[in-house]
Amino acid sequence: MNTPTSDNFSSPELLVEQREAVLWLTITREARRNAMSHAVLAGMGHAIAAAQTRRDLRAIVITGAGSKAFCAGADLQSAQAFTTDYSEPHGHLAQLLRVAKSSTIPLIARVNGACMAGGMGLLSMCDMAVASSHAVFGLPEVKVGVFPAQVLSVLQHLIPRRVLAEMCITGEPITSAQALEYKLVNYVDDNLDAKLQWLLERILDKSPAAIRRGLYTMKHMEAMAFEESMSFTESQIALFTLTEDAKEGQRAFQEKRKPQWKGQ
């Protein structure tokens, strides 16, 4: 059942809706192949940021309307496709990628079609991704005289370096099968929504507190050297065990029953 969110950031270009414990962010610019506008990027960033304080939300799905495109990147028909104010050091896409990086709610990309340019940034900022079999993935910026600079910040560690270089320099796309081979996505399926639901169900029955603290830990460790990460995780593991969910999980294991998570 779809219910309105308490902080609804929906607009004519971005549908924000809560489906039980999952927040769906759908780019609704199907006629423009779900190309990103500044309103889409700002709305998505605000919605993800506001969701962080919502204990009733367990996952966030990002997708595009229709079946042809997930997101075609920046709208090149716009006079200001890449920025609205050259005096502003922080662009909308960069701000969205920052918000996604700090999210402790799992972000899942539902790649329902072409995923191009900035759309690759939306895909890469997510923690997991499920793609349709007909989806294609590309970084065609060189074809219009630019380069996927901001996208590289979230994409560069996901796929092999030589594959990334070829995609950036030639601008040519890869198939969903290749995306799966390169581990750019978790799953590819003809029945996209069935596979997405299968993945969501494997998330929703787990400890909310463990996932929340776990994502915080994972994301902070990424840029740390080994000894720094060891020191950080030595303290984090102790905090994990102090949560109500950890205590309930252990009791449920001992009593051979399903845990009743409080998310605390």
Q: Are residues 246 and 145 in the same domain?
A: no
CA distance 129 to 159: 14
Q: Are residues 233 and 153 in the same domain?
A: no
Q: Are residues 140 and 95 in the same domain?
A: yes
The number of distinct structural domains making up the chain is 2
Give the domain range for residue 31: 2-204
Domain boundary among 204, 220, 238: 204
Q: Are residues 47 and 166 in the same domain?
A: yes
Q: Are residues 148 and 71 in the same domain?
A: yes
Per-residue pLDDT of the chain (264 residues; tens, 9 = 90+): 454 444 577 889 999 999 999 999 999 999 999 999 989 999 999 999 999 999 999 999 999 999 999 999 987 765 555 555 555 656 788 999 999 999 999 999 999 999 999 999 999 999 999 999 999 999 999 999 999 989 999 999 999 999 999 999 999 999 999 999 999 999 999 999 999 999 999 999 999 999 999 999 999 999 899 999 999 998 898 888 899 999 999 899 999 999 999 989
Q: Are residues 124 and 169 in the same domain?
A: yes
Q: Are residues 8 and 111 in the same domain?
A: yes
pTM of the model: 0.91
Q: Could you report the per-residue pLDDT of 91-133, keeping only the tens digit for each?
A: 788 999 999 999 999 999 999 999 999 999 999 999 999 999 9
Domain assignment of residue 263, yes or no: no
CATH (domain of 110): 3.90.226.10
Q: Are residues 194 and 241 in the same domain?
A: no
Domain assignment of residue 32, yes or no: yes
> Residue 33 carries which DSSP code?
T
Q: Give yes or no for a contact between 18 and 57, defined as CB atoms under 8 angstroms apart.
A: yes
Q: Following CA atoms 85, 87, 91, 95 in sequence, which dihedral angle do they give, to the nearest 10 degrees?
A: -130
Q: Are residues 184 and 227 in the same domain?
A: no
Query: Given this model, what pLDDT does residue 6 score?
Result: 41
Q: Give yes or no for a contact between 262 and 245, defined as CB atoms under 8 angstroms apart.
A: yes
Query: Given this model, what pLDDT does residue 89 score?
Result: 59
Domain boundary among 185, 204, 223: 204
